Amino acid sequence: MSILFSGRVSSGAAEHKISLGRRFVMFWVNHLRQAVASLGELWRTPSASILTIGVLGVSLTLPATLHLLVKNVQQVSDSFTQAAEISLFIKDGSSDTQISSLQKILQADSAVARVTHISKQQALDEFAAVSGFGAALNYLTDNPLPDVLLVLPKNTNADSARQLLQRLSKERIVEFGKLDIDWLTRLDAIVSLLRQAVLVIAILLLGAVLLIIGNTIRLSIMNKKDEIEVMKLVGATDAFIQRPFLYGGIWYGVFGGLLAFLIVEAMLWWLQGAIVSVTSLYDSEFSLMALSLAEFAGLMLLAMALGLSGSYLSVRRHISAIEPTGP
Amino acid sequence: MLEFADVSKSYPGGFVALDRVSFKLEKGEMAFLTGHSGAGKSTLLKLISLIERPSVGKVLINDVDLSRIRRPHIPYVRRDIGIIFQNHRLLMNHTVFDNVALPLVIEGFSGKDMVKRVHAALDKVGLLDKVRCLPHTLSGGEQQRVGIARAVVNKPPLLLADEPTGNLDPDLSKEIMRVFEAFNQVGVSVLVATHDLGLVARMKYRTLTLKQGKMINDGLLQYQEDPL
């Protein structure tokens, strides 16, 4: 395109009437070439690049780790929802037939998964065995413990379990029902608090990543001020001058993301042993969840997007500010 | 080709660098621009290459008013003008080939076509054997010729040179001028800013002389200065 001299062909592609398809291929080949070239640029300044990548890696590690923490805590709390059992304490003096007929009615209830009957005597035996008051209990003239029906709701979330509890408490022979759900809602609240805290911290750290990349790119623009002036004088558009810096930002993102991934994996590997010994004490089948493939891809995409936008913010301001001062 | 119509340029602070300068450079014409340092030569070249804008008056290239060129289009205008710098402004960590190829890369050339043009340009300035060298291994004259090759590699219709012989000895200066003449002979308009009056007088080309921002001479330079 020549503004001053119509008819002067100045574009390499236009001159040869290259087909659209080939031009499309050339477009990507050129981009690939520039991407590789800016990778070489990072390679030429290894110490500065490694420092920047290190800072990025650490900054991205923290949100990734916190994300894993939330994910694992959630896994634990999910496994606890199974424990949302309703205990129905039966009125003293109810006959065994009344209890077993209630048990049958409940078993037929569509909202109930399972009903278990713990009789007075079973409860007393268990209490004697577990509490260590075995001998003292022998002095009791009668059994103070009630019959209990343990009801496991089909739908284990807190609200529907609570509704079921209200309904079952109205049964004639039920003294009162108890749903140990308060601690579950507390745990849920803590998890969601944790998740929001993680979100805030992640946003702050990602902001830091943006600024770090922006500043690194700004420095490399300043280092190449002379070169940029010359390029502008021989007719380079801002877009052309920007491109290698944008690719540089993406590369920082790629390497920073990879580093963060490696750090997280190393940390998981390190913690695995300790966690196994803790969970075996609690008789739990808990195993630490690592980053899934989708999460890894997400981390890399996020890092690359941050690299690109960080360098774009910096490039847009500083490249147009550099103007050649004289021929 | 190039026309200045009553162009004045004053800088903030009131310094008047150019004062109602008018001249016309025809297609295929070669001219010198002389004057002491501070006379306005650099400002005049800056107005052509759109580094500065005139305060008053119009600069036209090929009847296109440069004041109509918006900022995003400036690079495209500069591609039509070959500029040679006094301190040659080569990219020191790139080879001679890369330096000369830069304007072509910017315009989207690639492959064989680019190599052919770069070699042709380097051949014209007699540096074909230095293609793979880094600029700092070359002499001052050679570096300046690399700068010329870069300016002409995309065959611009207008060539500007700012003190191209500033740091060179007389023989090298003459050699550089011969290169400009050769381009002029194939139809390129050439404007050379220089304070080397002896050289200008010997070359017998139209000479524009600036003094304190005013055009005081337009034509052949009359006096003959002592040879160096």
Each residue's pLDDT tens digit, A157-185: 767 777 888 888 888 888 888 877 677 77
Nearest beta carbon to residue B76 from set A3, A15, A227: A3
Interface contact B89-A233, CB threshold 8 A: yes
Full domain range(s) for residue B146: 90-155
Residues B202/B165, Cβ–Cβ less than 8 Å = no
pLDDT 10s digits, B150-206: 998 988 889 999 888 877 788 888 888 888 898 899 888 999 998 888 888 888 888
Query: Which pLDDT score, from 0 to 100, does residue A83 have?
Result: 55
* CA B129 to each of CA A77, A143, A248, B138: distance values in angstroms, whole numbers, following the listed order: 75, 110, 34, 11
CB-nearest to B75 from A8, A235, A325 is A235
- The string of pLDDT tens digits covering residues A64-94 is 988 888 888 777 776 665 556 788 888 887 8
**CA A210 to mean position of chain CA atoms:** 20
d(CA B191, CA B185): 14
Q: How many domains does chain B have?
A: 1
Residues of chain A in contact with residue B45, where contact means CB-CB under 8 angstroms, are 327
The pLDDT of A44-50, averaged and rounded, is: 85
Inter-chain residue contact A2 with B154, CB threshold 8 Å: no
Contact A84, A187 (CB under 8 A): no
- Which of A134-148, B72-86, B213-227 bottoms out in mean pLDDT, i.e. has the lowest? B213-227
- Residue B127, domain member (yes or no): yes
The rounded distance, in Å, linking the Cα atoms of A47 and A53 is 10
What stretch of H or E contains A42?
Answer: helix A20-44
Nearest to A11 among B42, B89, B108 (CB): B108
A305 contacts chain B (CB < 8 A): no
> By the CB < 8 Å criterion, does B75 face chain A?
yes
CB < 8 Å from A in window 168-197 of B: none
pLDDT value for A263: 94
> Closest Cα of chain A to B16: distance in Å?
17
Tell me the shortest Cα–Cα distance from B135 to chain A, in angstroms: 14
Contact B103 A16 (CB under 8 A): no
CA distance B84 to B61: 18
With a cut of 80, say whether residue B44 has pLDDT above it.
Answer: yes
| Of A26, A237, A325, Cβ closest to residue B75 | A237
Contact residues, chain A, for B109 at CB < 8 Å: 12
Set out the domains of chain A in order of their start, with CATH numbers. Answer: 31-79+186-321 (no CATH), 85-180 (3.30.70.3040)
The percentage of chain A sitting over the pLDDT mark of 90, rounded to a whole number, equals 16
**Which of B19, B9, B31, B24 is CA-nearest to residue B160?**
B31
CB neighbourhood size of B159 (10 A): 21
Please tell me if residue B115 touches chain A, with a CB cutoff of 8 Å: no
Q: How many CB pairs under 8 A join A and B?
A: 98
Whether B69 sits inside 8 A of A3 (CB atoms) is yes
Query: Does A240 lie at the interface with B, CB-CB under 8 angstroms?
Result: yes
Q: Which residue of A has its CA nearest to B111?
A: A12
| Contact criterion met (CB below 8 Å) for A194 and A118 | no
State the sign of the Cα–Cα–Cα–Cα dihedral A243, A244, A245, A247: positive
Asked if the interface predicted TM-score (ipTM) of this complex is over 0.95, the answer is no
- Establish if A235 touches chain B: CB-CB under 8 angstroms: yes
B78, closest residue in chain A (CA to CA): A235
What are A267-308's pLDDT values in tens digits? 988 888 888 887 777 766 667 777 888 999 999 999 999 999
Residue B71 and residue B82 in contact, taking contact as beta carbons nearer than 8 Å? no
Q: Which range scores top for mean pLDDT: A20-34, A35-49, A297-311?
A: A297-311
Instruction: Decide if B113 is inside a domain.
Output: yes
**Residues constituting chain B:** 228
**Does residue B192 form part of some domain?**
no
Going from the C-alpha of A73 to that of each of A83, A220, A289, A323, B169, the distances in angstroms are 16, 43, 10, 55, 79
Q: Shortest CB distance from A326 goes to which of B51, B78, B108?
A: B51
What residue in B sits closest to A224 (Cα-Cα)? B91
Share of chain B above pLDDT 70, in %: 96
Mutation target vs B (from A231, A234, A316; most B CBs, 10 A cutoff) = A234
Q: Backbone phi, then psi, for B155, in 5-degree steps?
A: 50, 60
A225-233 vs A238-281: helix axis angle to the nearest 10? 140
Give a yes or no: residue B75 inside a domain.
no
Q: Is residue B137 part of a domain?
A: yes
Domain assignment present for residue B151? The answer is yes
Contacts of B103 in chain A (CB under 8 A): 234-235
Name the residue type at position A155.
N
Within 8 A of A4 by CB-CB distance, chain B residues are 61-62, 64, 77, 80
**Measured between CB atoms, which of B103, B110, B157 is closest to A234?**
B103
DSSP character string of B115-179: HHHHHHHHHHTT-GGGTTS-GGGS-HHHHHHHHHHHHHTT--SEEEEESTTTTS-HHHHHHHHHH
